Amino acid sequence: MSKATGYIHDIAYPAHFHREIQPLWLGTMARFLGSAAPALSGSYSWCELGCGVGINLLIAAATDPQVQFVGVDFNEQHLAVARSAAEFIGLSNIRFIRADFGSFARDNNLYFDVIVSHGVWSWIDPAQQQAVLQLVQQFLKPRGLFYLHYMSHPGASQMLSLQKLLLELSRGQQGSSAQKLETGLALLAQMDEAGAFHDQPRLRTGLQTLRQQNLAYLAHDLLAEHWQPQHSADMHRRVSQAGPVYLGSADPFENIDNLSIPGNLQPLLAQQRSMAVRETFKDVARQQHQRRDLFQRSPARLSPAEQVQGMDSIGFCLLPGAAAAGPLSFETPIGAIEGPSAIFTPLLAALNSGPVSFAELRTLPAFAGQLGLLSQSLLMLLWAGHVHPVAATSPAATPQLQRLVQWIGQQKLALQLVPECATAVHVEL
């Protein structure tokens, strides 16, 4: 544990790939949200704050060699893995910097088109949080995108007292953070068996899920000195003071209010005009546990016609393991949603022939005059992992891509590279 940052240092954080922070995904989400996305093709710059072992950067750098990527992390164990991987793969367009965010903000002289941070904000001290915002304020270019993940109220609130118990218990123990957490989880299991949580079924389910997860991952999550869910309205105000404006979520499902909010609550949501009230209302309605918020500096809001024009050039393709036809059942955070065959079968059939542009999908009879329906259907397929935007220029089969696939296999990561989409998908080993 580092008292300076409040972050775990004695064990490495396992490699976790997050599709939502990849450049192509973020640019596509910005367009779906009605904003002119920065030109995330050709030469641009991208920075990840709290990059861990660098899996997100390695995939992005290998699939887009013209882009300059920078990863910053506190933990030398993380960066040793990341640098070794970059050297093995042969990547020359990536840099890994060991620094806390305050030091990086002081010493940095680079400007970025995209800054992302996942799994960091809610676990670091206020000074480090302010340094993140300082970096965004000083070094995010105009039209640049800022992605920020954090734990949110009210979904994460129920864990506050349990995390405090685990942290206090760990202070008097010997061993690694993973060993300390294992002892703490055993205590929680004994408390559960003794009936401590009998009136909290959601919490009991959450504890059962915790016991099945990687201890190193959980130690970074639950033994951080600074463990604090956030209210989205407060976060949006803080980020706006650094310049960027909230666009929406990098999670497609959360941008579809008429599906992600229970139907009986939608008339009440429609009455709310304040953005702060609307976002807080949605958090309460969904019992939001975490948020993946997307912001943009000096956003250019598009007219409906301009948005369609911008969307038309985006190509989409099926991912490995995608459904071939409807109907589909989407298991969402608020329950199962049925996707009718009349909508999804023609859409999936069109995509089955290879990459298809939004403009071409608009010509399908099922979506004639129904742009909103097409957009929502694509967002649901994106969210469920059936579909992904394709890169404007498909990357060549380079030695770097081949070695990246080899490295993923050596590390026994449950990932399959999808170079044409500049991403990877989770698979069963």
pLDDT band at residue 2 under the 50/70/90 scheme:
very low
Is residue 423, in this structure, part of any structural domain at all? Answer: no
Is residue 357, in this structure, part of any structural domain at all? Answer: yes
* pLDDT tens, position by position, 196-216: 999 988 889 888 888 888 898
For residues 213 and 65, membership in a common domain is answered with no
Total domain count for the chain?
Answer: 3
For residues 329 and 285, membership in a common domain is answered with no
Is residue 46, in this structure, part of any structural domain at all? Answer: yes
> Pick from 190, 222, 254: which residue ends a domain?
222
For residues 185 and 254, membership in a common domain is answered with no
Tell me the residue range of the domain where 68 lies. Answer: 19-154+229-296
For residues 39 and 90, membership in a common domain is answered with yes
For the segment 343-369, the average pLDDT, to the nearest whole number, is 96
Is residue 5, in this structure, part of any structural domain at all? Answer: no
For residues 338 and 234, membership in a common domain is answered with no
* pLDDT above 90 (res 378): yes
* pLDDT tens, position by position, 61-96: 999 999 999 999 999 999 999 999 999 999 999 999
Q: Which CATH number is 112's domain given? A: 3.40.50.150
Can you give the pLDDT at residue 394? 74
For residues 82 and 49, membership in a common domain is answered with yes
Q: How far is the CA of 298 from the CAs of 42, 140, 371, in angstroms?
A: 21, 10, 27
* pLDDT above 70 (res 217): yes
* pLDDT above 90 (res 331): yes
Average pLDDT of the chain is 94
For residues 260 and 138, membership in a common domain is answered with yes
* pLDDT above 50 (res 346): yes
pTM above 0.85, yes or no: yes
* pLDDT above 60 (res 5): no
For residues 79 and 126, membership in a common domain is answered with yes
Is residue 408, in this structure, part of any structural domain at all? Answer: no
Can you give the pLDDT at residue 3? 45
pLDDT band at residue 120 under the 50/70/90 scheme:
very high
Query: Which residue type is seen at 81?
Result: V
